[in-house]
């Protein structure tokens, strides 16, 4: 019997994935496709099958009894590979729009999966642009972006899906200036809604997405004063996840922002090191201008960072923390360097700095390895003696 190529095998699945097919056959076919997406070669194989991809998308947005969940999960795996974005969008150019509809539909049970696909897709500029366009289409009364923020910030927006992945979606979208402009609109209440989510306990995906969004927003140094001022008051929400159950003196306590005073003895710090790093980076961005630096200093950031530094177990986060502390306790820079985001760095210095960065990273990696290896080799030595 002639060997059938994997390609041909895959093509055989196509009829069973068609809408209107028997539900059990559809389900089996979808599961098979999902299994294929679990491996590199499998994904590459599927990439070449435009008709199959199309059918997959149709299933992902189809109502029960279609195997929408498995189809969506297959798409999640496919979208995780940036190399597959082109074939996916070629097979179904309206992929972002349709998945967006599902993700923001309060009654769609697989909205989380749809959001996860979008989170993966929006990492790359082309799909991100497509998604932004899809969001810009104004529904009566509420733009897509407004709806997305509302879905992210309203608990119970979708009773069957937690929608944590809307966090990373927003974070990716906030790389574009139009999104940031909406988030930082002073005539609305948008960025303020995101702030409490930095403490969201049930999902590091959501927290990470929100913190990433805030960090991207803080590149807009024209908005720093407003962000640090009473209308937004961003700093306490960035410091709170970094604060532990410290026992400050009465005098020190009064210098801290209200949200950081008298924290209970069981206060936990942000468990995810990457998020901790992003929070510190965000505060660092806010210190780029002289007025911003002053506000951050005046609001007692140093105390929190000092305690964080003595607790921080991750070397690279500790280094980032040190740099920020240096900025806070260091002297004011000379004229011409007031806005660190706008300074022109001479080439030679740029190269030196990059070298320093490289060395630091190596140092960190070495420390990391030492931590992991621990006393192992020495114990062996002792045993062999």
Partner 1 sequence: MEQQDPGTTFDDGMDSFVEKFQSQPYRGGFHESQWEEEFEKIPLFMKNSPSEIDPLENPDLACLQSIIFDEERSPEDQARTYKDEGNDYFKEKDYKKAVISYTEGLKKKCTDPDLNAILYTNRAAAQYYLGNFRSSLNDVMAARKLRPCHLKAIIRGASCHLELKNYVEAVNWCDEGLQIDATEKKLLDLRAKADKLKRTEQRDIRKAKLKEKKKQDQNEALLQAIKARNIRLVAEAAGEDEDSASEGLSELVLYGLSSENPCGARLSVDDQGRLSWPVLFLYPEYAQSDLVSAFHEDSRFIDHLMVMFGETPSWDLEQKYCPDNLEVYFEDEDREALYCVSPSSTLLQVLQHPRYFVKALTPTFLVCVGSSGFCRNYLRGKKVHQVK
Q: For partner 1, which is the closer residue by CB, 153 or 290? A: 153
One residue of 64, 155, 201, 264 binding partner 1 per CB under 8 A: 264
Question: Rule CB under 8 A: is residue 188 a binding residue for partner 1?
Answer: yes
Burial (CB < 10 A; 0-12, 13-18, 19+), residue 338, is: middle
- Please, which residues have CB within 8 angstroms of residue 112's CB and are 6 or more apart in sequence? 161, 162, 163, 164, 165
Q: Kindly state whether residue 139 participates in binding partner 1, applying the rule CB under 8 A.
A: no
What's the min distance (Å) between Cβ of 259 and partner 1?
5
Among the listed residues 189, 329, 345, 373, the single contact to partner 1 using CB under 8 A = 189
**Which of 19, 97, 24 has its CA nearest to residue 63?**
19
The answer to whether 146 contacts partner 1 (rule: CB under 8 A) is yes
Query: Of 187 and 326, which has the nearer Cβ to partner 1?
Result: 187
Distance of alpha carbon 76 from its chain centroid, rounded? Answer: 16
Measured from the CB atom, is 19 or 181 closer to partner 1? 181
Near partner 1 in 213-242, by CB under 8 A: 230-231, 233
The residues in 67-126 that bind partner 1, with binding defined as CB under 8 A, are none
* Cα 96 to Cα 134: distance, rounded to the nearest angstrom: 7
Q: Using CB under 8 A, pick the residue from 44, 203, 261, 339 that binds partner 1.
A: 261
Torsion angle of C-alpha atoms 5, 9, 10, 16, degrees rounded to 10: 160
Is residue 64 at the binding interface for partner 1, with CB under 8 A as the rule? Answer: no
Is 122 exposed, middle or buried (CB count within 10 Å of its CB: 0-12, 13-18, 19+)?
Answer: buried
3-state secondary structure 143-170: CHHHHHHHHHHCCCCCCCCCCCCHHHHH
- Among residues 21, 81, 259, 360, which is the contact residue for partner 1, using CB under 8 A? 259
Residue 272 as a binder of partner 1 (CB under 8 A): the answer is no
> Which residue, 282, 303, 301, 73, is CA-closest to 165?
73
Output 84 or 149, the one with its CB closest to partner 1.
149
Q: How far is CA 253 from the centre of its chain?
A: 32
Nearest-angstrom CA–CA distance, 322 and 333: 18
109 or 257, CB closer to partner 1?
257
Residue whose CB is less far from partner 1, 189 or 371: 189
Whether the CB-CB separation of 96 and 143 falls below 8 Å is answered with no
In the complex, the smallest distance separating the C-beta of residue 323 from partner 1, rounded to whole angstroms, is: 29
Stretch in the footprint of partner 1 (CB under 8 A) among 30-38, 187-195, 303-311, 319-327: 187-195
Least Å from the CB of residue 333 to partner 1: 33
Of 187, 326, 369, 384, which one interacts with partner 1 (CB under 8 A)?
187
Q: CA 276, CA 283: separation in Å to the nearest integer?
A: 11
> Does 258 interact with partner 1 (rule: CB under 8 A)?
yes
Give the integer Cα–Cα distance in Å for 100 and 94.
Answer: 10
Residue 369 and residue 365: Cα distance in Å, rounded?
Answer: 6
Q: Which of 234, 220, 228 is nearest to 191 (CA)?
A: 234
Would you count residue 382 as binding partner 1 (CB under 8 A)?
no
Please give the size of the binding site for partner 1, defined by CB under 8 A.
Answer: 17
Which residues of this protein are in contact with partner 1, per CB under 8 A? 142, 146, 150, 187-189, 192-193, 230-231, 233, 258-259, 261-264
């Amino acid at each position: 019997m002639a060997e059938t190529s994997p390609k041909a095998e895959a093509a055989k699945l196509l009829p069973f994935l068609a809408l209107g097919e028997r539900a059990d056959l559809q389900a089996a076919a979808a599961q098979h496709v999902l299994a294929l997406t679990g491996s590199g070669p499998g994904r590459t194989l599927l990439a070449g099958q435009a008709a199959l991809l199309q059918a997959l998308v149709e299933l992902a947005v189809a109502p029960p009894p279609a195997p929408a969940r498995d189809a969506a999960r297959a798409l999640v795996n496919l979208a995780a590979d940036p190399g597959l974005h082109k074939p996916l969008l070629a097979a179904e150019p309206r992929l972002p729009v349709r998945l967006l509809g599902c993700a923001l539909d309060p009654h769609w049970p697989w909205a989380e999966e749809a959001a996860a696909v979008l989170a993966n897709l929006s990492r790359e500029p082309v799909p991100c642009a497509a998604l932004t366009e899809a969001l810009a289409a104004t529904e009566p009364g509420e733009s897509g972006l407004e709806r997305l923020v509302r879905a992210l910030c309203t608990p119970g927006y979708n009773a069957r899906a937690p929608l944590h992945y809307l966090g990373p979606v927003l974070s990716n979208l906030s790389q574009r200036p139009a999104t940031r402009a909406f988030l930082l609109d002073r005539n609305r209440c948008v960025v303020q809604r995101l702030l409490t989510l930095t403490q969201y306990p049930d999902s590091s995906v959501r927290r990470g997405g929100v913190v990433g969004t805030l960090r991207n927003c803080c590149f807009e140094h024209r908005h720093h004063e407003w962000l640090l001022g009473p209308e937004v008051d961003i700093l306490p929400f960035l410091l709170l996840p970094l604060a532990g159950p410290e026992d400050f003196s009465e005098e020190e306590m009064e210098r801290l922002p209200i949200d950081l005073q008298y924290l209970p003895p069981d206060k936990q710090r942000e468990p995810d090191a990457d998020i901790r790093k992003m929070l510190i980076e965000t505060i660092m961005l806010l210190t780029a201008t002289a007025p911003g630096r002053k506000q951050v200093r005046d609001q007692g950031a140093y105390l929190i960072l000092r305690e964080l530094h003595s607790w921080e177990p991750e070397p690279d986060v500790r280094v980032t923390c040190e740099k920020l502390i240096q900025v806070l306790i260091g002297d004011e820079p000379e004229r011409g360097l007031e806005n660190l985001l706008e300074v022109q760095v001479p080439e030679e210095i740029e190269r030196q700095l990059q070298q320093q960065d490289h060395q630091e990273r190596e140092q960190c990696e070495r420390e990391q390895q030492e931590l992991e290896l621990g006393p192992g080799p020495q114990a062996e030595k002792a045993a062999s003696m």
